[in-house]
A and B are shown apart, each in its own frame.
Chain A
Amino acid sequence: DGGITQSPKYLFRKEGQNVTLSCEQNLNHDAMYWYRQDPGQGLRLIYYSQIVNDFQKGDIAEGYSVSREKKESFPLTVTSAQKNPTAFYLCASESRDNYGYTFGSGTRLTVV
């Protein structure tokens, strides 16, 4: 079955640590996105990529970094520069036909 896999489901980070969230898709989609969701709120765009080896900052990119070395993979690194990283992180992908996003099941990141 085609879909998006995010891992891990839960992640705990100590102060000052960098952590990387994985996002893999086998849908052959060109575009991939990372969103952050805080409790009771909508989704805010962190980074997006329309093609391999290219990505663009979204609305809240500070403290985050990404790479797109393969079409299937779009990992997100939450750096120590992100002062409030505790949130639910969602990865999504989309085909060029623009029929809507397919989302992964999310990673819940908590700073301890």
Chain B
Amino acid sequence: SQQGEEDPQALSIQEGENATMNCSYKTSINNLQWYRQNSGRGLVHLILIRSNEREKHSGRLRVTLDTSKKSSSLLITASRAADTASYFCATAYSGGYQKVTFGTGTKLQVIP
């Protein structure tokens, strides 16, 4: 089944720096979503970008989508220690119901 792959698998930065995570996928999608998971908790939906959109912003988050390259990136600006978490991209197929497939995640550590 289709699965997004995040890159890098792990990222460690200093507080205040920007963090960029990438996601690649294999087939056409209806939309792509980013989620955050704190250790041992459920996932929290961050942002959804549809296949006809190229960029979306939400607070300190910026997501881009390049359907020709089948890739997306999540940028967190001015990172904080509270941003430490795993970040997952999830792809929703074109056609069919909104059954999304999750990647394996990027583990972000923000050092105070």
Contacts and interface: CB of A to CB of B under 8 A. Distances in A.
B41 A106 contact: yes
Nearest to A101: B45
Interface in A54-110: 58-59, 88, 90, 92, 94, 98-106, 108
Interface residues of B, number: 25
A94 B98 contact: yes
B77 interface: no
B102 A43 contact: yes
Given A42-B3, A42-B88, A59-B1, A101 B40 contact: no
Given A41-B104, A42-B103, A43-B88, A103 B44 contact: yes
Bin the interface of chain A by size: 20 to 34
A100 B42 contact: no
Interface of B: 1, 3, 30-31, 33, 35, 40-45, 48, 88, 90, 92, 97-105
